[in-house]
Amino acid sequence: MNVKNLEEILNRNRSYTNQGETANYIPELAYANPQQLGITVCTPRGEVISVGDCEVEFTMQSISKVVNLIVAVLDNGPEQVFSKVGMESSGEPFNSVAELETKAENKPLNPLINAGAIAVSSMIKGRDVEEQFQRVCTFLSKITGKENITLNERIYESEKLTGDRNRSLAYFMKSTGVIDTNVEEALDLYFRLCSISVTCSDLAKIGLFLSTGGKIQGEILHKNMPKAVQIALSIMLTAGLYNESGETMMKAGIPAKSGVSGGIMAAPPNEMGIGIIGPAINSKGNSAAGVKILEDLSSEYNLHVF
Ligand code: DON
């Protein structure tokens, strides 16, 4: 793999940016440039290859759900977490209200849809939202090697102001006992995590961390980390791209997680991390060009899990 190959893949898929639009249900996200496209790949030997608009900062959005899940599993153990949240892919949009009542006994189907991630947020340990948020940031800081993990205030305010769909999911879960803490605090933590600023290279480092079974510079920092990472990767493979997960599983076959800001973080099993940005998203909420790039990376470098 080298810069030239990655540039070729990027240019070959550039026209797919025209098949999507920037998310606008969170108004601040609409200002992103839909033509942007960038890829970073990291290897355990410390190689970092970046092409295109990879210096651009964007918010993690749903990619934060993976980190959120790992911290919650380390905090509570998998049994406790999955007593409140399911393990199945949903086949519905990421913010579906209907499926919460009609499927899986009022439990959100998995931790990567909005309802599941809000329920997971309510399980992160900490005295208050600030401490919970800082604990997740500290973990992210170790994974990415970035001292300061920061939140994009404009996006955070925009999310909070327009997050009524998420509020309705959260209050429903309070009524069924899935959330048994303060609902507004669980939502606030969720909004903050979605608003964390990253670049493609940060996403690639998260991918590499997952791909190595949870190692940070060769070390496993917590005895339950390999299990937590295995859980995260399994759910990414089956549900990371929402109702496009089956297709992506078949065509790319790489555990991946997308966000509505157009980021995709992927963790092929060959000890490699991939970060992609392409803010024009398709109707399923995934980067339109990003999913095509993932397919190409998979076929060119033999990254499919099967
Ligand atoms: O809660 C939301 O709707 C957003 N903050 C995150 C959703 C998201 O990223 C879905 N991803 N493709």
Provide CATH code, domain 62-194: 3.40.710.10
Q: Tell me the whole-structure pTM to 2 decimals.
A: 0.97
Atom of ligand 1 nearest to the CA of 63: 9
Ligand 1 pocket, residue 58 CB under 6 Å: no
The predicted model gives 225-247 an average pLDDT of 95
pLDDT band at 217 (very low <50, low <70, confident <90, very high): confident
The predicted model gives 250-273 an average pLDDT of 95
Ligand 1: centre distance to CA 259 (Å):
6
Percent of the chain with pLDDT over 70: 100
Each domain of the chain, given as residue ranges in start order, spans 3-59+198-301, 62-194
What pLDDT, on the 0 to 100 scale, is given for residue 90?
84
pLDDT at 92 over 90: no
Q: Residue 265's beta-bridge partner residues?
A: 257, 275
Domain 3-59+198-301 has CATH 3.40.710.10: yes
The predicted model gives 251-278 an average pLDDT of 96
Dihedral sign, Cα of residue 113, residue 96, residue 183, residue 194 = positive
pLDDT tens-digit series, residues 93-110: 898 898 888 887 779 999
Q: Which helix (H) or strand (E) holds 271?
A: none
Ligand 1 pocket, residue 95 CB under 6 Å: yes
**C-alpha dist (Å) from residue 112 to 50, 216, 235:** 27, 23, 8
pLDDT tens-digit series, residues 14-66: 999 999 999 999 998 999 999 999 999 998 788 999 999 989 999 999 999 99
Ligand 1 pocket, residue 258 CB under 6 Å: yes
50 among annotated binding-site residues = no
Asked if residues 150 and 130 have their Cβ atoms less than 8 Å apart, the reply is: no
3-59+198-301 and 62-194 agree in CATH topology = yes
The span from the first CA to the last CA of the chain, in angstroms, equals 20
Which one of 95, 169, 195, 294 would you pick to mutate in the ligand 1 pocket, going by the greatest count of ligand atoms within 8 A of its CB? 95
62 among annotated binding-site residues = yes
What pLDDT, on the 0 to 100 scale, is given for residue 277?
98
